[in-house]
Amino acid sequence: MPPDLYLVRHGETEWSASGRHTGRTDIPLTPRGEAEAAWLAGRLASAQFTHVYSSPRRRALRTCELAGWGAAAVVEPDLAEWDYGDYEGLHTAEILKARPGWSLFRDGCPGGESPEQACGRADRLLERLRGLGGNVALFTHGHFGRLLGARWMGLPVADAVHLQLDTASLSILGAEHGAPVIALWNELPAGPAP
């Protein structure tokens, strides 16, 4: 049996709140993002993880820390967000104005990762994780997390466009009768926003 993968997107940052593509830029969580991560601590308190991995970006590492798993975390470079290259810091509307019809999961980013490169990274990571036992926590990012969900299911990269991931969301990738399933997707804090 493959492990259950608890996929956690980092809490809100200034750029995620405004819709700017944030790949390599290493910015902190907003106060709201810190509150979102604190909700995750309560949600993950009873979880038993045999392995905890985090993207090297401080927004993911801080989310992991505030969620109560920082001491157990191993930095995993393959969990970093998609490399947006020339589109780093831009809003989708700005990109579409210059490149009508653009889709990250189909077209990639000039000067950054292609869909094939990002898919290769996701597949390599998932292959390593499938060999682990127990539950595994992954603190990562929006677009790369969506790609992990699609690839876990064996779907093409382009299908990741259909999987939304909000900040500080929790998703669980698991298996049923040997087949990969999405057991939970994009769970957010109940009640009013932090």
- Write out the two tokens for 161: 């466009």
pTM of this structure: 0.95
Identify the pLDDT of residue 2: 75
Of 12, 22, 14, 17, which is closest to residue 88 (Cα–Cα)?
22
Give every CB contact of residue 166 below 8 A, 6+ residues apart in sequence.
9, 186, 188
Q: What is the pLDDT of residues 88-132, one digit of tens each?
A: 999 999 999 999 999 999 999 999 999 999 999 999 999 999 999
List C-alpha distances in Å: 166 to 11, 78, 122, 130: 9, 20, 19, 25
- Number of C-alpha atoms within 13 angstroms, CB side, residue 122? 30
Give all domains of the chain, ordered by start, each with its CATH number.
Answer: 5-187 (3.40.50.1240)
Q: Is 65 a residue of the active site?
A: no
Res 191 pLDDT > 60: no
At residue 59, the 3 state secondary structure works out as: helix
Identify the pLDDT of residue 192: 45
Our measurement of the distance from residue 163's CA atom to the centroid of its chain's CA atoms, rounded to an integer in Å, reads 11
Catalytic residue among 10, 51, 141, 143: 10
Q: Is 10 a residue of the active site?
A: yes
Average pLDDT score over residue span 80-93: 98
The DSSP code for 78 is G
Residue 3 pLDDT grade (very low, low, confident, very high; cuts 50, 70, 90): confident
Q: What is the pLDDT of residues 50-77, one digit of tens each?
A: 999 999 999 999 999 999 999 999 999 9
Residue carrying structure tokens 């790609």? 147
Catalytic residue among 12, 76, 81, 113: 81
